[in-house]
A and B are shown apart, each in its own frame.
Chain A
Amino acid sequence: MNKYLLRLFFILSSIGFSNSALADDDLTGGLSLKENFELAKKFPMPSPWLLSAQCSACHGTLGTAFNEIIPPLAGMDKQEFIKKMQEYKTADASNFIVMGIIAQPITDEEIEAMAGFFAKLKPEPLNQEKIPRDVVVPEWAVMNKESE
């Protein structure tokens, strides 16, 4: 277990999981959730690939990366994925980081499509070999962090 996971474990165990994402000073806007779901029904559902690819920036390419504190989605059991996302959608069980607010506007059909997509993929191993760092650092970009 790397240091980030350890740190996360201690933090999470000290604050618990059962907190609402809907704090008083949250700001919501644009379409209401209802309008959002109505709009989703008007057009064909986006492909499972495109829906799932939206998660890449945090969970790694098509959900396959296991980096520090954000877990991979690839390889997750389909029913488990659906269950988690549905839990995130209900305020009282929402994840306090981002998953609560991300899951809320996603339709049940879209969640199921993503669950099916990710279940067929394999995650990368945790300590995957890094690609070579072949950047050339110009002189102006070098800084001595110790100078402070």
Chain B
Amino acid sequence: MSNKYRDKKTGITRREILKVLGVSALSYGFLGASSKVYSKSTAHIVIVGGGIGGATAAKYLRLLNADVKITIVEPKSQYIFCPGSNEVIPGWITLEDLMVTYTTLKTHYRINVIQDKAQSINFDKKQLKLEGGDTLTYHKLIVSPGPTHHYEGIEGFNKELAEGAFPSAYSAGKQTMNLRNQILSMKKGGTIIISSPEDPYRCPPAPYERASYIATMLKDNNPTAKLLILDSKDDFIFSNNYLVYWEKHFGYGKADSMIEWVSKKKGGNVVKLDASIRAVITSNGDIHKGDVINIIPPEKAASFALQNNLAEGDWCPVDFFDFSSLLHDDVYVVGDSIEGDPMPKTGYIASNQARVVVQAINDELHGREVGSPFIINDCVAMAGQDYGMALAETFRYAGKGKKLGERYHILGAEKNKGKQIVRQQVAENWQRTFRKDVFE
């Protein structure tokens, strides 16, 4: 295609499409027609956020519907895929391996990708205002902005410190490289502290996967160093695998263990950072000094969602039948920003929530009864390049106003070395397949 923004069917450009949509939507308003009155060929679905939830929504809506106009609003020109990014810390993969662009979504799936930041929603006019000054008129708005890393949730901590001397590295990017470099250049026999947050937060096993990888790095390069995990929880997902692996490889549970995990009950709950002495302070007043301090902060819904009245408290409430906002019509919220309990905040789940949403929107466009939701989460994690683990969850609709019905099964620690490796290979394979599924 000579012009990658040019619509295959109509031959008009992205800007022209937007213009036409703006006008046609307005004219519906003048005619006093209800918002439901639009044909499937003129509907405009606008998506806030080009991460896993947003990109999946765009691509899968296009798979369902060749005609509908789809626009993603995303400030970045390329995206760093978060699943797998812990592997950048020991250098098993590079950040480049995780980078994707929106080229295929734009050209092959005919998605308008506007590189701008969504600012505010006018719910009455059904308009989304962008920071760059443009206004988009939508029939349906899908909001998938990811979480806010709430650095200030830890006293004395903030974004500037996370981008400087105390990297959180909890969305893949610059901080990930910074954390890696700090670990590599740490003095011999130094101490690394990881503070793991209270629930809910993105990718529950990630802090422990990260701890495992860091301990593997230390074993090779700095064997007298210590890794201290201070936890704001009393247990963690896959502890039935990680603790077994740590015992075997890092002496976990012994006095000279390289790796130590302190539960909330035992005083692991970090509440404060004292940057001047490079120490974290727990709720019982213990002071832990670290040469490298990696605080994974608590989370809440994205500031876009909070500022636009899509949240109640820290998270966005949705109807689990179709992930429509409980607070505003024709707006759907998916991914890390929602109050989704018992669904954990994983990319896998965000993508499957997005599939539920686009099916619901497409059913409505066709005047059909909207199909039941169904969500699978198949979470994989690794302890090292020789050990993988997995769990499976299903989430079924349980009725209006009810949480989804969850069934989960977490595989226990695998003793057979061959199987450990197969599970690790599956985890790695999944990252690549999933990335391709969302962005290619």
Q: Contact partner of A31 among B95, B173, B407, CB < 8 A?
A: B407
Q: Known A67-B436, A143-B180; judge A98-B359 contact (CB<8 A).
A: no
The answer to whether A23 touches B405 (Cβ under 8 A) is no
A142 to B97, CA, bound (A): 11
Q: A interface, how many residues as a size bin?
A: 35 or more
A8 to B376, CA, bound (A): 25
Q: Which residues of A contact B430 (CB under 8 A)?
A: 57-58, 70
Q: B interface, how many residues as a size bin?
A: 35 or more
Q: Which residues of B contact A69 (CB under 8 A)?
A: 422, 425-426, 429
Chain B, residues 360-394, CB within 8 Å of chain A (1/0): the string is 00000000000111111010100000000011111
Residue of B nearest to A15 (CB): B418
A29 to B217, CA, bound (A): 34
Q: Which residues of A contact B419 (CB under 8 A)?
A: 15, 19, 96
Tally of contacts, chain A with chain B, CB under 8 A: 205
| B440 CB–A CB distance under 8 Å | yes
Stretch at the interface among B99-107, B188-196, B289-297, B323-331: B99-107
Which residues 31-59 in A have Cβ within 8 Å of B in the complex? Answer: 31-33, 35-36, 39-40, 42-47, 49-51, 53-59
A140 to B421, CA, bound (A): 32
Stretch at the interface among B25-33, B118-126, B280-288, B348-356: B348-356
14 examples of A-B residue contacts, CB within 8 angstroms: A15-B418, A19-B419, A23-B413, A35-B407, A39-B396, A40-B396, A42-B399, A43-B396, A50-B355, A50-B371, A51-B374, A57-B434, A58-B378, A143-B180
Known: A28-B407, A31-B406, A61-B436. 19 other contacts (CB 8 A): A26-B409, A26-B410, A27-B408, A29-B408, A46-B372, A53-B352, A53-B355, A54-B375, A55-B376, A56-B351, A65-B436, A67-B432, A70-B426, A131-B104, A134-B103, A137-B99, A143-B180, A145-B91, A147-B184
Which 4 pairs across A and B sit closest by C-beta, in order of nearness?
A25-B412, A30-B406, A46-B374, A101-B409
